[in-house]
Structure 1
């Protein structure tokens, strides 16, 4: 981890270069977001967004990081993941359910 590591806008933790990361389209590509704004997230944070919300919900009500952070399940996830080190990756395959 370095001072120049990008910060995950969902959980607020640094994203070390050796940790899985992914780009999240704020408006899903299938809902008109192709070529639209993206944010770099931890892969585990990105997976949680898509395990929680449908593409339609993302496009309609959760097309900003601020909106995503207000969703009850994502709020709970953010509190949980904030206690983990920046390089934490779930060892449980598949979608995690709260």
Structure 2
């Protein structure tokens, strides 16, 4: 059996990776951490998932109840019409895709 010379080795070239999906809420490319969010909560019968940043998901969960999210459904424009979410999206647009801020602690 003949030995393979170094020139005969099959060296796999790195495959081109697909660009990361964009966040459903803010529209920025997702970073290393990707969250699959249910726009209609699972407890309310939601089955579809969308890619989001963890910080964007936290903003939604902080500002809306499950009932409100169920009524809004998959309509991201209705979420962006809310002043709190609009302000958040404008703020986070300047951040790195992997940016994450810890939730603020409540003062006692």
Q: TM-score range by the shorter chain?
A: 0.7 to 0.9
Residue 73 to residue 40, structure 1, CA distance change in 2 (3 Å): same
User: Where in structure 1 are there 5+ consecutive unaligned residues?
Assistant: none
CA distance in 1, matches of 2:65, 2:36: 17
- Which residue is 1:6 aligned to? 21
How many angstroms does 1:80 deviate by? Answer: 0.5
User: Where in structure 2 are there 5+ consecutive unaligned residues?
Assistant: 1-16
Tell me if 1:29 matches 2:71: no
Q: How does 1:47-62 map to 2 (within 5 A)?
A: 47-60=58-71, 62=72
Matched length:
89
Provide TM-score, normalisation by structure 1: 0.79
Larger strand percent: 1
Give me the CA root mean square deviation: 2.1
Q: Which one scores higher on RCO, CA 8 angstroms, separation ≥ 6? A: 1
Match of 1:80 among 87, 91, 100: 91
